[in-house]
Amino acid sequence: MEALMIGVSGTRGTIGGTLTPAVVSNMASALAVWLNQTQKPINGTHFVVVFGRDSRPSGSWVRDAATAALVASGVEVIDLDIVTTPGVAMMVKHLNADAGVIATASHNPIMWNGLKFLNSSASALPPEDANKIKELYLAQANNYVRVEKLISAKKNSDTHALHVKRVLDYVDNNGISGQRFKVVVDSVNGAGCVTSATLLSKLGCLLVHLNNTPNGQFPHEPEPIAQNLTQLADELKRQKAAVGFAQDPDADRLAIIDENGTYIGEEYSLALCAAWVLSKRKGIAVTNLSTSRMLDDIAAKNGGRVIRTPVGEANVVQTMLRENAVIGGEGNGGVIDPRIVPGRDSLVGMAYVLQLMAATGKPLSQLVAEIPKYEIVKTKFECRREDADRAVAAVKQKFASEKIDTQDGIRIDWDKERAWVHARPSNTEPIMRIIAEAPDKATAERCIAQVQEVVKATLK
């Protein structure tokens, strides 16, 4: 069923279906109104918005529709063309812009596209701001200006080179280059093609680059999960490479395959990067409530600690900046180093994994084996928000004697068993998710069953 999804992660719809030029124009107009209502221009005269897009074939008209509405609202638009989502975030700060817009549908298939907004801090919008823009969109609000206030859109082609330079500033180039790692990368013909090739070349890697034309013609389902990466795994084994990396279309997520061709899961992207960063910089790591406790084990080993937030990149970034965290991210393959980009960045992930391999002299499979292993079990079911809220309240009452966190639904931790369950209503769909993690699958399933029993009794 086609739907227009508007939530904290932005707007997504189907091309020729729910995402039309009118929808894009109205959403961009709402952003302009929100800027006028809530901020003063950084340059003192007019608002500046940087615009980037992933490689989807629909991206050019989405850009044109959004740009038309923004220019008509008196906003100066700086067009970055096809760049990664973290690249847009970086350019928001670099160009002193008031906001950023990315035309992307992340890992969704080719028939989808959408808009993601960033604030002047270059981070995803907090829920309260995202909801305000949604209200303005539904009201079809606009703030179109007279001709004397129009500012022509400009182009900027610096993103790729600057992004690579920023990442290289925080790794040992010579140490990695000396290893001459053979690396296989699947960029899924997305926005990460150019920057990934440049970065890995600068790091002295022998690159085998699959699906490296940024034309948006995804050769397989673009979400970087195991069943979609068989080509990458097979090529890695054929090439006898040291590591395989997979990006999603806008290159903010990273999945990893080890030297044996084994998919090790997106959860390990953050874990491995944190193992490197926390070994060199003591401090705080930040992640959401649904991310593996591997991060807690790694932080404890290195004298650090973990702060958890509600699900959502904006929540993680806000907490990282407030707490001056040294590393953070989410278990979907999102790695965040705020010194480079205040958002998920697959280039940071690739560089830090290679840095860890070079510094330790260990193959990826051994580095993974040294991290305590857990099993994650996920389930979801259709549920209205009000019913999900009732279910969460009942679970809270049932497990009141346990260690609980109610920032986002409810998370129950059993530290002795090294297990947890997180039950929460979705921010974007009428569903409820229940996720559990434990050292073994049977324990994780048992933990989910305990919570499901309470939920079913409440909602029957």
φ, ψ of residue 173 to 5 degrees: the values are -55, -45
CB 181 within 8 A of CB 151: no
Give the number of other Cβ atoms within 10 Å of residue 15's Cβ: 17
Cα 65 to Cα 72, 138, 152, 197: the distances in Å are 11, 17, 14, 31
- Quick one: DSSP state of residue 125? P
Nearest to 306 by CA among 316, 11, 132: 316
CA distances from 163 to 121, 174, 194, 428 (A): 17, 19, 11, 31
Of 179, 186, 187, the closest CA to residue 205 belongs to 179
Compute the distance between CA of residue 209 and CA of residue 53 in angstroms, rounded to an integer: 21
**H helix intervals, 118-227:** 127-138, 159-168, 173-177, 193-202
CA–centroid distance for 252 within its chain: 5
269 belongs to the catalytic site: no
Q: What is the rounded distance in angstroms from the CA atom of residue 424 to the CA atom of residue 406?
A: 9
Q: Would you say 62 and 79 are in contact if contact means Cβ atoms under 8 Å apart?
A: no
Given a contact cutoff of 8 angstroms between Cβ atoms, the answer to whether 287 and 327 are in contact is no
Q: How far apart are CA 207 and CA 222, in angstroms?
A: 21
Report the C-alpha gap between 382 and 363 in whole angstroms: 43
Instruction: Pull the structure tokens for residue 287.
Output: 């992640």
Catalytic residue among 9, 25, 58, 106: 106
One-letter amino acid of 315: N
Amino acid at the residue 186: D
* 8 Å CB contact between 357 and 405: no
Tell me the catalytic residues: 106
